Structure 1
Amino acid sequence: MKTSNNTVLITGGSAGIGFEIAQQLSEQGNQVIITGRNAERLQAAAARLKNTTAIVSDVSSQSDVTKLVNQLNEQFPQLNIVINNAGYSSSPYRLLPGVDTFEKASAEIHTNYLSVLRLNELLLPLLNKQAQAAIVNVSSIVSFAPSIDIPGYSISKAALHAYSRVLRLTLKDTPVRVFELMPPLVNTEFSKEIGGEKGIPPSQVAADLLDGLKNDNYEIHVGNTADIYQLYLSSPENALQALNSNK
């Protein structure tokens, strides 16, 4: 997959991993569109980037997504890469009585999996018009080794992982390639409550994504995700214990 002269949509592009991806892609001659819920933060992010358009849009809102898709079709008919980076995680909790796990997990599943499915489906007709196109779903190391402290988030990313595999197979005879970016703990505001300061920089995640796109590596295991994945292949139980060893 080429990594320049693309038109790229990045959801959740105003901060963290999304911003770093936008920055690196914009510096390589791509036209970038970033979305997010906070207009002020989104505009501030776009002002720091080259070749970047900001569109206020909440991926969890059906009306926002409908408006976004219509705008992309009208203003960016050359769109050929969609990076589903926007995500949501409740404050850390465990699957215990009195925690209201249903409501927490429902919000996480809706944003991290169902909203991605909806946006991809609506954009596939546009992507299929391009000579070369890609969907990138940002999942996580917890896709295959869930964390006891973020169970709903882990489950939602496991669903996204399974969906990515099925979508890749479904679209194998189309111009659209399906990539999955699987970061470990990353030092962002998003992960602050789970010790994000111990994580890798988001710039490393972005660099690994560009490298994975360039080399058609459809499952991109960033940092120690690669080690946990290899452990998972030999022993899922050991991978689970390794990820939760300090909890």
Structure 2
Amino acid sequence: MEIQGKTILITGGTAGIGLEAAKQFLANSAKVIITGRDQSKLDKAKQLYPALIAIKSDAGNADDAQLLFNQIKELGGIDILYNNAGVLSMSTNMGVANDRHSKEAEHEMNVNYFGVIRLNNLFMEMLKSRKESAIINTTSILSYVPSALEATYSASKVALHFYTETLRKHLEIINSHIKVFELLPPVVATNMTAGRNDKKITPEKVVKTLIAGLKKQQFTIRVGDTKLLYLVNRLFPKMAFGLVNSDKNIKQLQ
């Protein structure tokens, strides 16, 4: 897929993978629009990369999604929708039952899963109108093997993983030219994982792999340890579960 000259919308673009993606897509001569909930972070991103267009928008809010679509339409539309925004609540995932569990699990699913569907539905006709267009969904290594420490987050990413595969197949059936890519990173060194001591990969490496996959039209892009875990899980699922859920991590639940 050609990136140069494309207009891409990146949700959750103020930090981590999203901000790094904005940087690298700009370096590949794309026009980049980012969203985020925090205006101060959007302003900082704009200061770092003045060519960015930064729009305040909450990926879990249906009204914000509609307003975002309207703004993008006024700007001339997009060629690539990159659903990168995601949330993880450790108070939800550290236990099955606590006072905040249901509410925060619902928030995770709303941002990580339903928010993606909302934006895809809103932008589908716009993307169909483009000569070459794509949807990118960021799922996770936990789409293959769940983490006991991140139970509901894992569930939201599994849901997005299956939705991504079936969306791709549906668009193939109706002969749509929209390409659907899935990015499956391992643990990435971001603010979300700051409290974890696991092996981590940098956002820079994740996005380099993403862009290389886009250019080669590699629709399922497994990054780093995700490649190995995918194979291990197919052959030895109990071993794969143990690799994700080490004794050190399980002790945090006790």
Q: With the length of structure 2 as denominator, give the TM-score of the two structures.
A: 0.93
The 3-state SS of whatever aligns with 2:179 is strand
Deviation at 1:100, TM superposition (A): 4.0
Greater displacement, 44-53 / 139-148: 44-53
Deviation at 1:54, TM superposition (A): 0.4
Matched letter for residue 225 of structure 2: N
The 3-state SS of whatever aligns with 1:112 is helix
Does the 8 Å contact 2:233/2:239 carry over to 1?
yes
Deviation at 1:194, TM superposition (A): 3.0
CA distance in 1, matches of 2:105, 2:28: 38
Matched letter for residue 226 of structure 2: T
Q: What do the CA deviations read for 1:155-200 (whole angstroms, capped 9, x no partner)?
A: 000000000000000112112110000110111112113336x411
Q: How does 1:1-247 map to 2 (within 5 A)?
A: 1-49=1-49, 51-77=51-77, 79-91=78-90, 93-98=93-98, 100-172=100-172, 173-195=175-197, 198-245=199-246, 246-247=248-249
RMSD: 1.4
CA distance in 1, matches of 2:114, 2:243: 29
Does the 8 Å contact 1:26/1:50 carry over to 2?
no
Matched letter for residue 94 of structure 2: R
Deviation at 1:237, TM superposition (A): 2.4
CA distance in 2, matches of 1:240, 1:46: 41
Does the 8 Å contact 1:14/1:46 carry over to 2?
no
CA distance in 1, matches of 2:64, 2:100: 28
Unaligned runs of 5+ in 2: 250-254
- Report percent identity of matched pairs: 37
CA distance in 2, matches of 1:85, 1:97: 28
CA distance in 2, matches of 1:82, 1:233: 31
The 3-state SS of whatever aligns with 2:183 is strand
Matched letter for residue 183 of structure 1: P
Q: What do the CA deviations read for 1:40-87 (whole angstroms, capped 9, x no partner)?
A: 11121022125310011111111111110011112122x110110100
Alignment length (residue pairs) = 245
Unaligned runs of 5+ in 1: none
Once superposed, which parts of structure 1, at least 4 consecutive aligned residues long, lie more than 6 Å away? none
Q: What do the CA deviations read for 1:206-234 (whole angstroms, capped 9, x no partner)?
A: 10100110111111111101000111111
The 3-state SS of whatever aligns with 2:90 is coil
